[in-house]
Structure 1
């Protein structure tokens, strides 16, 4: 059945007006960000130094839309190596101030710099000697004057045509928070491995934290036959272990080669091969691609893709076969 598109309502907005409005918002906010870039200087460096010297956490706070931005900034800081959390300024004066300790740094966000809930808790923060970083749009505001460091988040206009909804101002505050997080990340030497440890359930965490030893088959689940095994015995071992191949090992379990579905097809195509009397050593692939158990599972995926293979044997430093895995194991682990 073809979908039926309802006719436009009598007072439906003009499509050109809709796209023009959206483009104006984007242009307005892009211009504000362009104007922000040259203002990054000594004050920004001072803010980073305060945070880097902090023995506690960064406490980020703000009301309304600034509060939503503050929550996101706290989350970004925390996931990039700077311990941080959000405190609602309204709740702070009703007990949550106990969450803020003298060794912390407070990052307060208010475009006007006159948010009552923030100003109400300032005396307590200052009395404890807690450093204060303020992000405001007015350097002469009460919050900016009380701050140890003021970051200028001023804008020429909001993207809202009524000049009422925080739009451009919250974008600028958000970008300032991102700039802080990334500058601190680089200053700390925070790595992708560090990021993965705080995101173990994410795709990056799986790629960077999961090792071959976590996904490989071991013990009796590893297909292996001696070099004098018959083709029938090798096929039975491959069928039982369901990895599409079998290792060929000597008496000490050292790898001699691998026999795969591809080797079987090549043997079937070769009229000179005596399938009844052939030993697996005569049909196997010598010098197969292998990997160590301590390597990352993502490296196995890369190796398989590069060489167009679907399974790998896992060996130790002396070429003893200790495990095996195939592409399905990596798919189950969501590495690929």
Structure 2
């Protein structure tokens, strides 16, 4: 990876370079490594960060940003040693009062709501996004680390209404919800199939099917007669498949058959059903009724 980014170093040096997903880029590390090593050395302890940056042909502000972001222990070391040696550059330390006041509302918003992004907080509080981001990295590391931790825990775990690894809420967009609202209502209140509903409401059958299985699994499970538990896998091969519209089609005939006194063929004829299809449906979905009808038929034959 280092070679690919134009960085030449020995195997030992490469092993000592830590490259993380959220850390420095390899080329940035190579650019600042000598200056950072100087900052961490007693040889340059009398120089401030800006002087060290000029020594290595770098911008002082950018070097300070690298130190604050990736090497805070170096800054702590320098501050501690310079105080011990009685060195002072007469520069203020910590957050400036006006900056603290400027970003206070955005920081509190981010602490209170883990779903809001830094960019959204900046827009809502009317502050600079890059300024807020830098302020958080410099002076609210625990907040940044906590938000990163939450996102890491959410990676590859997609639960409706909860945060994802990207820091966004796993939920359909308002436009998508509005688009399928009528179709979902029909799916939950009528025995119509998803294909029939898609055709009736003018939405894509495939997209509607995907929408249901992504955002309304509870409705899909309810139609299949399965108790819904989030993140619990279902063996669909063992699930009895039938269309709710088919159940509605045979409901009155089954009720009539349960009243007794008529054969399956006569009930099928009364309701305009195909006798063999009706028998097959009874065998699959009303096995007890089907078995009792078989016993009656055998007794009658005797």
By the TM > 0.5 criterion, same fold? no
Higher relative contact order (CA 8 A, sep 6+): 1
The alignment's TM-score, normalised by the length of structure 2, stands at 0.26
Which has more helix, going by share of residues?
2
The alignment's TM-score, normalised by the length of structure 1, stands at 0.24
